[in-house]
Amino acid sequence: MDISVVVPLFNEEESLPELHAWIKRVMEANHFSYEIIFVNDGSTDRSWQVIEELGAQYPEVKGIKFRRNYGKSPALFCGFEKAEGDVVITMDADLQDSPDEIPELRRMIVEDGYDLVSGYKQKRYDPLSKTIPTKLFNATARKVSGIKNLHDFNCGLKAYRKDVVKHIEVYGEMHRYIPYLAKNAGFTKIGEKVVHHQARKYGKTKFGLNRFVNGYLDLISLWFLSSYGVKPMHVFGFLGTLMFIIGFIAAFCVGLFKLIAMWSGNSYTLVTNSPYFYISLTMMILGTQLFVAGFLGELISRNSSERNKYEIEKTID
């Protein structure tokens, strides 16, 4: 099969027939063999009935129905598990992404050899309250992930080589960072294509402003996991030791200065009168705590089932 289209959706009943007809038109014009996997993420409207009706009519339509709303990442994860096409395309259900981009996206994977091609909504039709934070978000994501050529990490329209979707694990709200997940799994040929974007035609957006707060927290976790996930002691132990040593030297100096003052007959007071004494004490305590956090992190990662999971591309026996 040439292409699997994975569509996560939550309450998008009005868009579905239109979206399906459009994808079908594009696929038939290009003679692709394909499937469309609609992942119904616990919709409370008629979305699932619409998918069932489409499925009864067209054999290429497949569906997964969640019992409740889990989020876009879990929906993508399950769609990826089911996908059978050589190229996998993900696309939002709200008709903001255009299926007309599919042939070119596929060509970039098959002919140019990209592992992942992300859409780039250069001209967006979204409110300002969304486009400005998005710019900031993408700049940070570029910096942290080291994927310098992507302008739009969170574009719903992306194309993947099949291998990629079978080897990454999208969870929580990590759909924003799929290129970063792919990079961490060893798929480094990541490209971008400028795509058309339209204003939402039906319904309303499913993500509020908290997307930005959660987005940054996820980015920090991902950065930490990919750099220190299996060696937490390297960061906590280092910081802890550093703080403890600074605190210890400072406390030592506070005591030493008092002794010198005593011996040389100058006036002196209790060390506890000096603010530096408390600062150094706090540093030593925090240093010890960080060190203990490192030990706990090591204990946890030693017991994790992920600790010896590597992406092996090929073997010769």
Residues at the interface with Mg ion (CB under 5 A): 92, 94, 96
Which residue number, 20 or 184, has a Cβ lying nearer to ligand UDP? 20
Residue 71 binding result from ligand UDP, Mg ion, none, given CB thresholds of 5 to 8 Å by partner type: ligand UDP
> Could you list the residues that contact ligand UDP (CB under 6 A)?
8-10, 12, 41, 69, 71-72, 75, 92-94, 96, 156, 205-207
State in angstroms the smallest separation of the CB of 120 from Mg ion. 15
Q: Give the sheet arrangement for strand 34-40, strand by strand.
A: 61-65, 34-40, 3-9, 87-90, 158-161, 116-120, 190-194
State in angstroms the smallest separation of the CB of 23 from ligand UDP. 14
CA distance 40 to 57: 18
State in angstroms the smallest separation of the CB of 131 from ligand UDP. 11
Residue 72 binding result from ligand UDP, Mg ion, none, given CB thresholds of 5 to 8 Å by partner type: ligand UDP
Which residue number, 71 or 85, has a Cβ lying nearer to ligand UDP? 71
State in angstroms the smallest separation of the CB of 25 from Mg ion. 21
Residue 41 binding result from Mg ion, ligand UDP, none, given CB thresholds of 5 to 8 Å by partner type: ligand UDP
The closest alpha carbon to 95, from 229, 21, 199, 232, belongs to 199
Which residue number, 183 or 211, has a Cβ lying nearer to Mg ion? 211
CA distance 178 to 73: 10
Residue 23 binding result from Mg ion, ligand UDP, none, given CB thresholds of 5 to 8 Å by partner type: none
Which residue number, 77 or 114, has a Cβ lying nearer to ligand UDP? 77
Q: Calculate the alpha carbon distances from 308 to 175, 259, 293 in Å.
A: 24, 54, 22
State in angstroms the smallest separation of the CB of 101 from ligand UDP. 16
Which residue number, 6 or 284, has a Cβ lying nearer to Mg ion? 6
Report angle CA 98, 103, 109 to the nearest 5 degrees. Answer: 115
Q: Which residues contact 58 (CB under 8 A, 6 or more apart)?
A: 20, 24
Burial class (CB in 10 A: 0-12, 13-18, 19+), 55: middle
State in angstroms the smallest separation of the CB of 109 from ligand UDP. 22
Which residue number, 9 or 219, has a Cβ lying nearer to ligand UDP? 9
Which residue number, 156 or 240, has a Cβ lying nearer to ligand UDP? 156
Q: Is 245 left (phi over 0), alpha (psi -120 to 50) or beta?
A: alpha
Which of helix, strand or coil describes residue 218? Answer: helix
Residue 206 binding result from ligand UDP, Mg ion, none, given CB thresholds of 5 to 8 Å by partner type: ligand UDP
State in angstroms the smallest separation of the CB of 148 from ligand UDP. 23
State in angstroms the smallest separation of the CB of 309 from ligand UDP. 27
Residue 69 binding result from Mg ion, ligand UDP, none, given CB thresholds of 5 to 8 Å by partner type: ligand UDP
Report the amino acid identity of residue 38. F
Which residue number, 189 or 200, has a Cβ lying nearer to ligand UDP? 200
* Long-range pairs, 82-85, Cβ under 8 A, ≥24: 82/4, 82/37, 83/4, 83/6, 83/35, 83/37, 83/162, 83/165, 84/1, 84/4, 84/35, 85/1, 85/2, 85/3, 85/4, 85/34, 85/35, 85/162
